[in-house]
Structure 1
Amino acid sequence: MHKQRKIIQVFEHQRLLKGNIYDEVRFETRYFDALLKLNELHENRYFTAIYGGIKFDSFVGVLQIDDLVIEVLPKVEGYTSTKNQWRDVLIDMLRVTHDLKVSEVGQAHVDKQSIHLLDIYFDWFLTEIEQLIHAGLIKQYRKETKNTLALKGKLEFAGHIRSNLVHQERFYTTHQVYDKDHLLHRIINEALGVVEKLSKGSYRYGRCKAVALNFPEVSFIASSPSTFEKFKFNRKSEPYRTALALARLIILNYSPNVKSGVENMLALMFDMNDLWERYVLAKLKQQAGGEWLVKGQDIKRFWEGKTIRPDIVLEHVETKTSVVIDTKWKNYAYERIGMDDLRQIYVYNDFWEAKMGMLLYPSPTMTKVAVEGTYAKNGYRGKIGLATVLDSNGKLSRDLGTNIFSLLTVD
């Protein structure tokens, strides 16, 4: 009998203490020990170990430790929204930034209060595999070295002598085989095994077993990052692109850990600073119209071997005026604005010869300019902007890009 899955929801920067009960689930020592090992595998990025527990940092997403699922949710102070609302906000931000395609899973599943982020990614992966099976799985050529009763391909002399001193009617050869047991299917099969292990106790387990039954038997593989780097798509394999990307996400974030007493662990976490930057960039591109050119990842040489890259650079189509935006996923308070942030936006302004530079923070109330000043050099303007994350209905604001453009002025 499979263990019933337990779920704990926490916000970023929140603490979990050993032995305490959260959402009617006790945070046991075995979970704490496993989490420390999992965090160590990911360069201790996701949380900080404290006395008797852990304290989450700016990473959000989901961690699964055996039968325990921990959802780490974003939060802006000042909102009274529930955890499930912030879960939906996170899902929507991932959808907008193309890290997640909710449409491939079905909105009805997303609306279930018991579903979490791993559920959505797993369902998306299974849907992709079902579609590939329905369309017909491809065959590819591969090399196979083994004993055969007929001489075909290249005879491997060393292996032939070693293996066939007694059975001289056999030939140890390397030859080409055209079948479904190739690298692409081996990777997908490995990911299916991870999904099956982590879905025990959920509605998905039966679906995963059904998909596996319809999938061909293939050789075992233990994938590493280099496995995915060397794969090249062609016309036949192009339909597999999304499935392979999801398989990579699942496999490389999976950490089986027998020593800790917990069999399976998986971390699917996102840096909230990076996600906020990419979400703002996506909304600005969507809502720029024909007035602004929106660029991300704009890089300039700063020093010997050093470059600088502001989060977002805007250029007004008519006036050619530039605006630099540096996004900060922090709770805004004027007295806590760091000098490093102010110096950084000044340097961006200088190098891009921008007329305006803006530090953009999330806001619980409204989109507005909180503080505005003028730099002495060349009359550059600096602004600290606040952007509302949620609308009046508690949903992710769909007009964020338009609202940000309203804060800008061009000469």
Structure 2
Amino acid sequence: MNPALRAFEHTPVPITALPTATSLGLDEVERLEAVCLLRPGLCEFGRHSVRFAQYCGVLCIGERILEILPKIDRTDRTDRTDRGTADAAPAHDMLLRMLRVVHDLPSPPLGSGSHDLIRSPLIELFAGRFLAETMRLVKAGLLKSYVSRAENSATLRGRIDWPRHLRANAGRQDRAWCEFDELTHDVAVNRILVLALLHLRDWLVAPTSIRLWHELMAAFDGIAPARRDEIERLCLDRQSRRYAAALKWARWIIEGLSPSLRAGAATAPALLFDMNRLFERYVAIKLARQAPPGWAVECQHDDRHLARVLVGEQGSSPAYRLKPDLLVRRADRIVMIADTKWKRLERDRYGRVRPSTDDMYQLNAYATAFQECGELVLIYPCFDGLAADTLETTMRYELAGSSGSQSRRVHVAAVDLMDEVLRVRIGSSGDVLRRLAA
């Protein structure tokens, strides 16, 4: 397998006639353009470079894997391969940490020291999690189930299918068409894991992963790979629920490493994650887990509108539905409205952070619609030692026609993604967020 090409979000990757260790070849760019038709906004094409947006993960681009990582430092390092490799360690760690929380995946059972994170491509880390989860199932005992079978057998089993037997075995006494139930490992959940293992075969490099792959294939010997319709129809029951984490990785691997992608088909891969959505869900889950009793964190609350359309002389209908990312309640009272922003905060000359105009306009709409709530927060990721000398930033909306007591405070917060507990690293960010993310 050719080595993976590593890129960072919002950072340009050069385009050259032939692929190199740090650039995309023309054939790879054509495949990338085909994927962009189904995944709009994945990247922007320039004359001599490609700049990736907020999607992170892995993507097949022919004979190579392209891995796109979160950009967590402030410098462009596209011409420094050694530095880009070093930056991959915390980026890998952060992305995997967020995926574990949002998609309810277990903590990594394999070693995840910085040395391994620096040297391993992202597909190898994804594969390691899947292989380890699958090996855990093998050691605990693979699921078995009774499956109905029919065959022209020399031994009587179950019951004879007389119409079929008479058609196939007229005049023969050594054979009988039998229908019977057989207890077997060849069931849908195991077949899906086999299909994912086969997709991984060409992309593993680390000797540990290759050895584990061979051990698993031996454990699944005699089990056929799944068909597409089996994956789509699968529903887990009480017995198969322990397969949930492994099957989640398996589905991502099957979609992201599909052979049709390597052949150039325009299939949108499932191993790319929208960091805006991932960050929003990560913050919501963490705050909900840390919330005191009697508090609740809601996502995408959508029962308010910004305006009403006048209908006739007295009637009206709601328009411009508002969906704040996070809404925090204490009992029945809304105590905080928050929007998460997967963006890099910048400091002004006074050492304060300044959200963009669009971010402030959006929060102003929430302040207008949720006038019973006086605390609004913009939540950003904290990268790159930004918290060291940054001053707290709090602003105030003056609502038209309101007194000073009716003004709305806007707090700007940056949260640490490298800790098990979600903590505010910039600003006190108001009483509510301070209590939820101490």
TM-score (norm 1): 0.78
Q: State the distance in 2 between where 1:211 and 1:363 align.
A: 40
Of the structure 1 ranges 324-333 and 185-194, higher mean CA displacement relative to structure 2 is found in 324-333
Where does 1:311-330 land on structure 2 (aligned, <5 Å)? 311-316=325-330, 320-330=333-343
Q: 2:68 corresponds to which residue?
A: 72
SS of residue in 1 equivalent to 2:191: helix
**For 2:399 and 2:126, how far apart are their aligned partners in 1?**
47
Q: How much has 1:59 moved relative to structure 2?
A: 0.6
Equivalent residue, structure 1, for 2:351: none
Q: Does the alignment pair 1:219 with 2:224? A: yes
| 2:342 partner amino acid | W
Note the C-alpha offset of 1:45. 5.0
What is the CA-CA distance between 1:115 and the residue it aligns to?
Answer: 1.5
Report the equivalent of 1:393.
none
Aligned-partner Cα distance in 2 for 1:402–1:26: 37
5+ long unaligned stretches in structure 2: 77-82, 306-316, 347-353, 433-438
Residue 231 (structure 1) aligned to one of 228, 235, 244: 235
Match of 2:429 among 380, 399, 407: 407
Give the direction of change, closer, same or farther, for the CA distance of 1:191–1:7 in structure 2 (3 Å limit). closer
Larger RCO: Structure 1 or Structure 2 (Cα < 8 Å, ≥ 6 residues apart)?
A: 1
SS at match of 1:322: strand
C-alpha distance 382-161 of structure 1, shift in aligned 2 (>3 A): farther
Normalised to the residue count of structure 2, the TM-score between the two structures is: 0.74
> 1:99-114 residue pairs with structure 2 within 5 A?
100-108=105-113, 111-114=116-119
- Secondary structure at 2:226 match in 1: coil
1:376 counterpart letter in structure 2: A
Matched, 1:240 2:243: yes
Give 1:212 deviation, angstroms: 0.6
Tell me if 1:383 matches 2:410. yes
Task: Give the letter aligned to residue 83 of structure 1.
Answer: D
CA contact (8 A) 2:12 2:51 kept: yes
Write out per-residue CA displacement over residues 255-299 of structure 1, whole angstroms, 9 at most, x where no aligned residue: 21378479x996521111112212322343354445854333444
Q: Is the 8 A contact 2:396 2:407 kept in 1?
A: no
The alpha carbon displacement at 1:56 in A equals: 1.2
Asked if residue 346 in structure 1 is aligned to residue 343 in structure 2, the reply is: no
Q: 1:171 to 1:48 in 2, by over 3 A?
A: farther
Shift in Å, 1:304: 7.3
Q: Of 132, 141, 148, which residue of structure 2 is paired with 1:136?
A: 141
Q: Which stretch of the first structure deviates more once superposed, 68-77 or 120-129?
A: 68-77
RMSD: 4.0
2:357 alignment counterpart: 337
The 3 A distance-change label for structure 1 pair 170 and 12 is same
Quote the offset at 1:204 in angstroms.
1.7
Is the contact between residue 382 and residue 425 of structure 2 (CA under 8 Å) also seen in structure 1? no
Unaligned 5+ runs, structure 1: 391-395
Corresponding residue for residue 374 of structure 1: 398
For residue 4 of structure 2, give the secondary structure of its aligned residue in structure 1: strand
Secondary structure at 2:113 match in 1: helix
Aligned-partner residue type, residue 24 of structure 2:
F
Counterpart residue type for residue 331 of structure 1: R
Q: Does 1:126 align with 2:131?
A: yes
Question: Number of matched residues?
Answer: 395
